[in-house]
Every structure is written in structure tokens, then in C-alpha cells.
């Protein structure tokens, strides 16, 4: 009886760890852009959507603190290689119970921002 309970507990723990890993894996995306350009694309993408309010921008460290309703998120841009960078969107308090929908929405906004044609500033 104790062995069965122990095995069941181990299986449940592994399923919880796997669920957290899948959420973490969906919370970042790699882009073939340099970090500075990607940060500007991310900033434009977040500021263009009415659902998100930006509270803090730190260009030197490459992060944006923003909110979606009452939930706060931290977007970071990290250089991986010369022309490859990573965007990571994480809940501010590491509460992954909401899933990864906000991160996926932000990635879609960044993808759309990258696809826009460049406009000349006069």
C-alpha cells in the first residue's frame, strides 16, 4: 500500500514539473535580430496595444515592466549571438497559473511589428 502511494506521489510530482517546464518553454522566443533592434520592436509592439500598460523601461538592461489588467509581466531581451536575440515574457511574481497566453500574444505583436514596412521619419 505504501509503495503504491509513493509511486503515485512521484508520478504526480513529475507531471507538475513537466507542466512548469512547458510553460517556461513557451515563455520565450528566439528572433534573428540584434538585441537593440528587437528591444525597440518589443517596445513598439507593447505600446501599440491598448491592453498593455507600460510601467518601466530599462534600455541598458533590456527589460520592460508592463501590466495586462492587474497582472504584471517582465519582458527581457537578451543577446544570444551576433544577430540572434531572445525575448522572454515572465509574470512578475513567478505565478505561472495563468499559463502563457500573454507571452504568446506579445510574441504575435512583435512578429507583426517586425513584418511592418519601415517608415521614413521626417
Q: What is the pLDDT of residue 18?
A: 45
Structural domains of the chain, count: 1
Judge whether 90 lies within some domain: yes
pLDDT tens digits, one per residue of 49-98: 888 999 988 887 788 999 888 888 889 998 888 888 999 988 877 666 66
- pTM assigned to the model: 0.74
Domain that holds residue 68: 2-115
Judge whether 121 lies within some domain: no
Closest CA to 74 of 51, 90, 58: 90
Please give the order of strands across the beta sheet that includes 71-81.
28-31, 84-91, 71-81, 63-68, 52-58
Judge whether 104 lies within some domain: yes
Position 17 confidence tier, pLDDT thresholds 50, 70, 90:
very low
Q: What is the pLDDT of residue 96?
A: 63
Judge whether 7 lies within some domain: yes
119 or 114, which is more confident: 114
Task: Please report, for the domain that includes residue 83, its CATH number.
Answer: 3.30.310.80
Judge whether 18 lies within some domain: yes
- The mean of the pLDDT values for the chain is 78
Judge whether 43 lies within some domain: yes
- In contact, 89 and 82? CB cutoff 8 Å: no
Amino acid at each position: 500500500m505504501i509503495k503504491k502511494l509513493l509511486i503515485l506521489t512521484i508520478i504526480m510530482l513529475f507531471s507538475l514539473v513537466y507542466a512548469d517546464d512547458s510553460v517556461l518553454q513557451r515563455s520565450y522566443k528566439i528572433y534573428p535580430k540584434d538585441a537593440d533592434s528587437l528591444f525597440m520592436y518589443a517596445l513598439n509592439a507593447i505600446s501599440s496595444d491598448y491592453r498593455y500598460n507600460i510601467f518601466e523601461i530599462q534600455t541598458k538592461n533590456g527589460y520592460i515592466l508592463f501590466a495586462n489588467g492587474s497582472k504584471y509581466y517582465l519582458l527581457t531581451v537578451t543577446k544570444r549571438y551576433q544577430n540572434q536575440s531572445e525575448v522572454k515574457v515572465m509574470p512578475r511574481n513567478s505565478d505561472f497559473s495563468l499559463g502563457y497566453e500573454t507571452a504568446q500574444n506579445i510574441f504575435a505583436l512583435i512578429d507583426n511589428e517586425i513584418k511592418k514596412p519601415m517608415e521614413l521619419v521626417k
